[in-house]
Structure 1
């Protein structure tokens, strides 16, 4: 059974619901539904093997979704609804929800920015053939990043349990549709940031360096590859650096790791740009909401 559109989803991700107005349905509504469906399909297609490239594509889809939302907010009927409902609690909750999205987006940006800086430092260490012990600074930074991620994920999880205070029987269908649209876009955005942060932290964020010790031992066996032990880009770098720590650098041993680092740095740069675009979109949407309430 489908969950109420007035609640943030806690289990089903990207379960797109169609938003519709019964009279003279605007083309933007269909476009909004198409973007939601596209995000759902993209998520399902990459759920088994996500990567940084697919994450970048999802950001592009999210940006398109917000562009559509901004246009919907400019519709006369939407503005009339907000003017009429300006003192309702759901309006304040919508504004608070978008503020939480800005915080989540900013945290995600910070995590990727710090990771890129760490990768650049590691590349410098490997190029200069400095002491392998210098790599431990990366593990310290990763630990700090994971703490930040854990805190943010906990806050996101708490926000999922915040219910939108709306008595549906007292609202017309079109008003309910607008509320549902705003809650839906908040939910899929939160889902996306959560998936990004979880990906950076790794699939087993609680296991720490004990996992990488195991991976390091596996890596020394020629019979086992990265793909066979299902590591994402961050886990591969962690494992590769763990295998180098405490050893002397050689060209052969560091070449693969350097290639991974360079590819990852390039992918993160693209993600940073995408996150910045989404961040600006979130600000624009919040400003639009505030402007409607001030009129």
Structure 2
């Protein structure tokens, strides 16, 4: 399934100054949409998470500005319905963010264990590589199932958002409230898109076609003695999925060149995981703060 579509952004020019930055960030994040030829690259996802965190900070400032607070107070009943909708979706986003963060941290632990085992193998010591590989692949299999459930939740949220976006807003909403509705809707849409891409990066299935491509890539890396791995990396459809393939080649057939390929891939994945976890930590705090602000609107 393709990434959820993100609509073009265009807010009225006379809006609160913060809305100009929000519009720029939304359009910037939209430009990160992944092309079919190079989908789900970790660096792009990391940049998307950083931009998303900045967007949430701007939305927070926008919602807490005096003019917006006055608009929310004046139309408390209408605002309450809007906030309740946003709160419902916030749970799905928090769950998605937390799951991705936990999977990445567990993956990082497995990767470091694998790296240690492969280093010991390189020194000629018995490292029980096969049991370590089996543990990693078992984790990956379970993680893919968990991510599939999470993607289902994001898809349901996307459908609900589309229904809301297609319906006409109440006629009695002020321009300020209409702007809040638009900003919250666009922010929700782009968050779904970024999280969707991250989760797919972590869970792309290893189909027979992908596996064949992965084997071809691994063979090429071995033949070229790993000289330009960084250049070859851009050709990898999905790094995590290709590591699965690389590790499977080592089961019962550990060769020095194949160990070097796996070590290089694991090193890249380890570094990518660090950046992604840092981005998700920041995003989780932003989502919690956003939920607190929405709850404050309902309870004041």
Same fold (TM over 0.5): yes
With over 3 angstroms needed to count, the CA separation of the structure-2 counterparts of 1:63 and 1:242, relative to structure 1, is same
Q: Which runs of 5+ in 2 are unaligned?
A: 122-126, 225-231
Aligned alpha-carbon RMSD (Å): 2.7
Superposition pairs of residues 41-190 of structure 1, within 5 angstroms: 41-43=31-33, 48-49=37-38, 50-88=40-78, 89-129=81-121, 130-134=127-131, 135-162=133-160, 163-164=163-164, 167-190=169-192
Residue 198 (structure 1) shift: 0.8
Mapping of residues 196-275 of structure 1, within 5 Å: 196-202=198-204, 205=205, 207=207, 214-215=212-213, 217-218=215-216, 221-222=219-220, 230-247=236-253, 249-275=254-280
Q: Distance in 2 between matches of 1:117 and 1:85?
A: 50
> Could you report, residue by residue, the CA deviation over 1:214-269 in whole angstroms, capped at 9, with x for unpaired residues?
4565357559996697432112211111111122x343321121121112101211
Compared with structure 1, are the counterparts of its residues 156 and 222 closer, same or farther at alpha carbon in structure 2 (3 Å cutoff)?
Answer: closer
Preserved CA contact (<8 Å) 2:63 2:180? no
Aligned match of 1:14: 6
Cα displacement (A) at 1:12: 5.5
Task: Write the distance in 2 (CA, Å) between the matches of 1:18 and 1:169.
Answer: 20
State the partner residue of 1:5: none
Q: Which residue of 2 aligns with 1:35?
A: 25
How far apart in 2 are the matches of 1:61 and 1:124? 35
Cα gap change, 1:105 to 1:238, in 2 (>3 Å): same
Which structure has the highest helix share of the two? Answer: 2
Distance 1:96 1:12 in 2: 19
Q: TM-score, normalised by structure 2?
A: 0.83
Corresponding residue to 1:283 among 265, 280, 288: 288
Q: Distance in 2 between matches of 1:153 and 1:240?
A: 26
Q: CA deviation at 1:191?
A: 1.0
TM-score (norm 1): 0.84
Q: Secondary structure at the match of 2:159?
A: coil
**Distance in 1 (alpha carbons) for counterparts of 2:26 and 2:92:** 20
**Equivalences, count:** 278
Deviation of the 1:80 alpha carbon? 2.3
Q: 1:169 to 1:57 in 2, by over 3 A?
A: same
Report the CA distance between 1:29 and its aligned residue: 1.1
| Cα displacement string for residues 103-129 of structure 1 (whole angstroms, at most 9, x for unaligned residues) | 111111112112112211211221222
Identify if the C-alpha distance between structure 1 residues 159 and 213 changes in structure 2 by more than 3 Å, giving closer, same or farther: closer
